[in-house]
Amino acid sequence: MPVVQVEGVRKSFGAVEVLKGIDLTVERGEVIAIIGRSGSGKSTLLRCINGLEGIQAGSIEVSGHKLDASGRGLRELRKDVGIVFQSYNLFPHLRVGENIMLAPRVVLGVGKAEARQRAEEALAEVGLAERFEAWPDNLSGGQQQRVAIARSLAMKPKVMLFDEVTSALDPELTGEVLATMERLAEHGMTMLLVTHEMAFARRVATQTIFMHQGKVWEVGPSERLFGAPQTPELRQFLGTGLK
């Protein structure tokens, strides 16, 4: 059974249709990169899979939780879907450890000791075990983003979504975040990432999806997609660079 099953999803903002019938399947342990120009709908698709944006038609199913236009089943689905944003969005009033322990405790009802253990494991996974007591404001952007990843991991999600997580970072800080993501992939996490880091997508993603004008324009194993693009649009996109 696939972890994520997206069928015929349509999404409009007012009169503008940004997703025009998207089908997508993610199997357990797969890492899927979504690339495309800004405005192609790739971030919107990711946000729909977490229910942050409602959909007008079609359905989204994540490990058995079905989400449709009615918006029911949202919280159950979100327990199994982690998302990391471009702008970290840590809770500034909580220390790093508390940031990570909060949702397992209040949402999953996990005990304090176990929440702490989860948080420590998650922090170790992103290489920040020693920053448990730090305040978010005292961390670099790259460290904050890794804490944000740990915060999602502590929920033990079935799939992790990454929405341009390195776009707000200085170039010298993107490396540490990408390395963290690569380690997650190696550890078998199912991942769906919207990214501008083409080299990273080509190396780490098992599949890459090229989105264009609200549709899945081209999809295939990353090596083939980047090595032998089939459509003129993808060729042009890869040829003209990253934007």
Partner 1 sequence: MIRTFSESEFLFIVASARWTLLLTLLSLLLGGLLGFIVALARTSQLAPLRMLAAGWIGMIQGIPVLMLLFLSYYGLSMGGVDMPPIVAASVSMAIYASAYLGEIWRGSIQSVAWQQWEASAALAMSRAQQYRYVILPQAVRIAVAPTVGFIVQLVKNTSIVSIIGVVELARAGNLVNNATFAPFKVFGTVAATYFIICWPISLLARRLEGRLNARRSG
- State both tokens at 240: 């003209």
Contact between 152 and partner 1 by CB under 8 A: the answer reads: yes
38, 106, 223, 242: which one binds partner 1 (CB under 8 A): 106
Contact segment (CB under 8 A) with partner 1 among 30-38, 75-83, 168-176, 221-229 equals: 75-83
Q: Which is nearer to partner 1, 152 or 166 (CB)?
A: 152
Dihedral angle, C-alpha 158, 164, 165, 170, nearest 10 °: 170
27, 64, 66, 107: which one binds partner 1 (CB under 8 A): 107
Contact between 181 and partner 1 by CB under 8 A: the answer reads: no
- Cβ neighbors of 234 (< 8 A, separation 6 or more) are 210, 212, 217, 218, 225
Where do the H-state alpha helices sit in 22-125? 42-49, 74-80, 96-106, 112-125
Q: Are 62 and 98 in contact (CB under 8 A)?
A: no
Instruction: Please state, in angstroms and rounded to a whole number, the distance separating the CA atoms of residues 131 and 128.
Output: 6
Q: Which is nearer to partner 1, 181 or 234 (CB)?
A: 181
33, 35, 83, 160: which one binds partner 1 (CB under 8 A): 83
Please give the DSSP secondary-structure letter assigned to residue 171: H
- Sheet-wide strand order for 65-67: 16-26, 4-13, 57-62, 65-67
Q: How many chain residues are in contact with partner 1, going by CB under 8 A?
A: 24
SS3 162: strand
6, 32, 55, 103: which one binds partner 1 (CB under 8 A): 103
Q: Are 97 and 79 in contact (CB under 8 A)?
A: no
155, 177, 185, 189: which one binds partner 1 (CB under 8 A): 155
Contact between 214 and partner 1 by CB under 8 A: the answer reads: no
The distance of closest approach from Cβ of residue 198 to partner 1 in the complex, given in angstroms and rounded to an integer, is 26
Contact between 3 and partner 1 by CB under 8 A: the answer reads: no
The distance of closest approach from Cβ of residue 243 to partner 1 in the complex, given in angstroms and rounded to an integer, is 24
Contact between 85 and partner 1 by CB under 8 A: the answer reads: yes
- State both tokens at 4: 């994520």
Binding site for partner 1 (CB under 8 A): 50, 52, 75-76, 78-79, 81-83, 85, 87, 89-93, 102-103, 106-107, 148, 151-152, 155
